Structure formats: C-alpha cells, structure tokens
Chains A and B, each alone.
Chain A
C-alpha cells in the first residue's frame, strides 16, 4: 500500500499508479518544516485537482542530535545559546515566525514549546509508516510540538500521541524501548548525506529533482507537473 496525500495532510489509503513520488527530509523541531509541509500540501491539492497523484514519504533528519531529552530552558534560551543573539531579539524573531506561521493556518506557541531530542519521534514515524499512518503521525507530532506544548522526546508522551491517532500504545512503547526502528532513522540520515542535504525541509521528487526549504506552493506545483510529464 502506498500513502497518498490530501490537502489536510491525512493519509489516503489507495494504490496509485503513474504517481509522482516525493521523499521529504524533515525534523520535528523545525518551524520551517511545518510551514513547508503546509505549503507543499497546498501544492499537492492543486496538483491533485489537475488529475495528478502523489506518493509521499517522510524521512528522518536530526537538526540537533546532541539536545538532551529533558532540555532545561525555554526555546528562547536554546536559540540564544545557538544564535548568540540577545534574548529580546530572539523573542522578537520568534514573534515574527509565529506571525508568518499563522498565515499558513498554524498557531505556534513558542512560550509553551518543550525543546527536546527528536530521535524517538523519528523512530515513531518509522513505526507509523509500518502501520500505513506516517502522514497522520507526522502531522500529530508537529502540531503537538509547535502548537500544543506537548513533549515529543519521551516514550510515554510519544505513545500518548500515537494512541491519539489510533495506533496501538503497547506496540509503540515496545518499538521505542527496543529501538526497533533506530536503524531506519540512521538509514534516512545516511541517505540525506548521500544527497548532500544539509538543511530541512528538503524535498526529493522522483529521485531526480531537489527542492530545498519552505518554498512557495507554486514552486512545488511546477516541479510536480514537471516530474509527472517526465514519466
């Protein structure tokens, strides 16, 4: 079974033929990845309206793998450390980011955000893929992190989120505790290196075209149509 994508980012279980394949490298702790997801979905909806079909898969990319699971401090604290900018300036920039995200229908809440390590969330995305629910899980994780102040680094919290989309909680806990999908996370990271991907979101279309960043939907529409016409 392949996963199609609809305007709301939900999995659509159907088999597609002559579809365009889109592989997306992304992290959870990545504000542009959520914005880029929305912009891509806008393009996907336009592409679908024109009769195109898509096969979408998310891949793991860890922006800050050294981040502790229980990071002590706010998002401002984290960014002040990384960007070496005054806290007031970072707060202002986050305000700008929040405003920009709102234009995509997203309600970022950086005050509530709990910074954490995302490797377990990536393992969960691979588990969800094995259940045909990766797109729903990706959406749930991003919203939980940026809009709801939920923790996305601990097994119990991730199991709660998985259960909320209908996945088997006990299976999720077992998969995450056993690190069953850790090798899949690493394989994604290795493939990103092979492609030369250094920043996310990053979109690979039919294994041929690369699109870096949260581009305007028109860019995605153009490349999807180009890829469809290649085949």
Chain B
C-alpha cells in the first residue's frame, strides 16, 4: 500500500494534466491580433 505524500511547495506551480498544459496567459493585446 502506498503511504500518502506530504505535499510541499506552491499550489499554483504549473503542470500538464489530461493532455493539456497550463500555458502562460497571453497579453490581451496579443490575443486581439
């Protein structure tokens, strides 16, 4: 049986999950192009 892990570090650190990665948000001006 696997013991539960003690989580360390910031919750918001970027990950990839379910085939999708948290990409940096683009500037609004970029998105409008």
Contacts and interface: CB of A to CB of B under 8 A. Distances in A.
Query: How would you classify the secondary structure of chain B's contact residues: helix, strand, loop or mixed?
Result: loop
Contact of B17 (A92, A199, A204): A199
A223 to B, nearest CB: 5
A195 B6 CA distance: 11
Given A89-B31, A199-B17, A96 B26 contact: yes
A32 B16 contact: yes
- What bracket does the count of chain A residues touching chain B fall in? 35 or more
Contacts of B30: 88-89, 92, 95
Contact of A194 (B2, B11, B15): B2
Interface in B6-33: 6-27, 30-31, 33
Interface residues of B, number: 29
A89 B15 contact: no
Nearest to A65: B19
A89 B7 CA distance: 33
Chain A CB count within 10 A is highest, among B12, B25, B30, for: B30
B24 A214 contact: no
Interface of B: 2-27, 30-31, 33
Q: Which 10 A-B pairs have the closest CB atoms?
A: A213-B13, A210-B5, A199-B15, A199-B17, A92-B26, A64-B19, A96-B24, A92-B30, A93-B23, A194-B2
